[in-house]
Amino acid sequence: MGKCDQCIVRQYTSMKALNKDEVIKLANCKTSYTVKKGDIIFSEGDPMNGVFCIKDGVCKLSKLTSSGKDQIVKISKRGELLGQRSMISDESANLSAIALEDMEICFIPKTEILGFFDDNNQFSMNMMKSVCGDLKTSDDHIISMAQKNVKSRLAETLLYLETNFGNNPDGSLHIQLTREELSGMIGTATESCIRLLSEFKKLGYIELDGKKTTIKDHSSLKKMAE
């Protein structure tokens, strides 16, 4: 899968602060592997013995609610680290990470990460900023769920999926969530989500073709999302 010093993804993460010797140490301790779509990277409650760096692909971070519904908290992509907060706080995983498409990831053991913490202040600062960024995203999501109605949240989520993960060549959203996953993201029943998607289609905001969703009227969705 290539060497750490040649990995462009390293520039997106806390790892960019590592010096040459530390990068060599990183390369010698990491484990690289491929994850297939639908595979579990880690599950809620698992001990976090390190962090996962996404080299390619997209995964969902979700939590199982008391009613057994899969609530998507975040979607993570290339260049992001998984499990850093739980590892630093020495807690088990608060969320499950499941691949939404085939992925390439690297696992870096906790002992090495904590070693970098001790020896490299800039690395520590970068990782703290990353964790704080995740917390801010979580706060924004909570505020959105509390203050916006379901229609606004659906419009916001569809625009978020396009802005952050792009489109397929045919114009449809690259990340194709199931109706259950989408309803979990906006905090409503699956039936309500299906009904709203149909309503958006009738209004000409989106186009639906099986699992594929294509945004047709961005300005109307933006107004609704505000």
The verdict on 133 and 163 lying in the same domain is no
The verdict on 14 and 103 lying in the same domain is yes
Q: Residue with structure tokens 């020896």?
A: 119
Residue type, 110: K
The verdict on 120 and 163 lying in the same domain is no
Q: Which domain holds residue 221?
A: 148-225
Of 121, 145, 169, the domain-final residue: 145
Of 94, 116, 145, the domain-final residue: 145
- 167 to 52, 158, 175: CA distances (angstroms): 26, 11, 8
The verdict on 47 and 28 lying in the same domain is yes
CA distance 76 to 54: 8
In a domain, 126, yes or no: yes
pLDDT tens series, the chain, 226 aa: 457 777 767 777 777 888 888 888 888 888 999 999 999 999 999 999 999 999 999 999 998 877 777 788 889 999 888 998 888 888 999 999 999 999 999 999 998 888 888 888 888 888 888 888 888 877 777 777 777 899 999 999 999 999 999 999 999 999 989 999 999 888 888 999 999 999 999 999 999 998 899 999 999 999 999 8
In a domain, 67, yes or no: yes
In a domain, 128, yes or no: yes
We report the CATH number of the domain holding residue 175 as 1.10.10.10
The verdict on 131 and 193 lying in the same domain is no
In a domain, 2, yes or no: no
- 116 to 23, 60, 162, 215: CA distances (angstroms): 10, 27, 36, 44
The verdict on 39 and 94 lying in the same domain is yes
The verdict on 97 and 162 lying in the same domain is no
In 10 A of CB 211, how many CB atoms?
Answer: 11
In a domain, 185, yes or no: yes
- 208 to 66, 119, 194, 199, 219: CA distances (angstroms): 31, 52, 11, 11, 18
pLDDT score for 2: 54
The verdict on 195 and 140 lying in the same domain is no
How many domains is the chain built from?
2
In a domain, 3, yes or no: no
Of 80, 113, 145, the domain-final residue: 145
We report the CATH number of the domain holding residue 57 as 2.60.120.10
In 10 A of CB 133, how many CB atoms?
Answer: 10
